[in-house]
Amino acid sequence: MRTSNVAASTGYPAGAGPVFAPGAFDGRVALVTGAAGGMGLESARAFAACGARVVLADRDEAGVREAAANLPDAIALPLDVTDEPAVRRAIDSVVERAGHIDHVLHCAAVITARHSRGADAAHWRQVLDINLVGAFLVAQRALRHMEAAGSGTVVLVASDAGFRGGGGLIADSAYAASKAGVLSLVKSLAREFAPTGVRINALVPGPSDTPMHAAVPAELKQRIAANIPVGRMGRSADMAAAALYLSSAAAAFVQGAALDVDGGLMLR
């Protein structure tokens, strides 16, 4: 069992609960996509602090290798999630190298803010390929191994824009449609794979102050935060905490759920 201090490693408060206890994921292998930064990297760190062997995947090869170098026994996996043969090879290689794959957290995505009047089919195809088709390809290949093992968890990151739609300021119609597709994909996969012992759920962030939103002006972020009941935007640590919960034994009866992590934004 690892004895690392979870609070010191991740920034979570001491006594945060069994989900974040050192050793909670001992012996487990967790694949995190979009892991070179932001929510993905924070989640990879949290999995590692709780004992998992983490596989960090990202199309940013230099970034993902640097991130993996700072985690114990981690594996760096340069990966374009839209490349179907590459996804198959990558996930199969994880199983060959680590022996099994127990958890997948799919964070890899692109966010765009283009008004529909100026968007073209190429833009839509790119966003859908990365955000929706990529999510399917990663989940499909991982589920093949999990089904054979009779256990595992898949968490796909959606967005509140999948419910609310995109307005063009932060998220556009292509992004919103892709994330609505992720929500539907989760429901479909959860229904199909529930009898196999594998759990599939969606994590649904609201507006978050993460590297993905680095280009958003500070004034706009303030306006967004003012509209969130708890009074701030989300943080990577908020999403990592929710991801670990959905992946943990504490969520053993959670299947096909869409967990809002938005500070109450959907209440409005």
pLDDT per position as a tens digit, 18-64: 456 889 999 999 999 999 999 999 999 999 999 999 999 999 999 99
Q: Higher pLDDT residue, 113 or 60?
A: 60
Kindly list the domain boundaries of the chain, sorted by start residue. 18-259
Domain 18-259, architecture per CATH: 3-Layer(aba) Sandwich (3.40)
H or E, element range at 249: none
Question: What amino acid positions are annotated as catalytic residues?
Answer: 175
Whether the Cβ atoms of residue 160 and residue 204 lie closer than 8 Å to each other? yes
The C-alpha R_g of the chain, in whole angstroms, comes to: 17
Strands (DSSP E) contained in the chain are 29-33, 53-58, 75-78, 103-106, 152-157, 198-205, 258-261
**Could you tell me the end-to-end alpha-carbon distance of the chain, in angstroms, rounded to an integer?**
44
Is the pTM value of this prediction over 0.75? yes
103: β partners: 30, 153
Query: Strand 103-106 and strand 75-78: pairing?
Result: unpaired
Predicted confidence (pLDDT) per residue in 199-228, tens digit: 999 999 988 887 766 667 778 888 888 889
Mean pLDDT of 59-78: 97
CA 90 to chain centre: 17
Stretch 147-159: mean pLDDT: 98
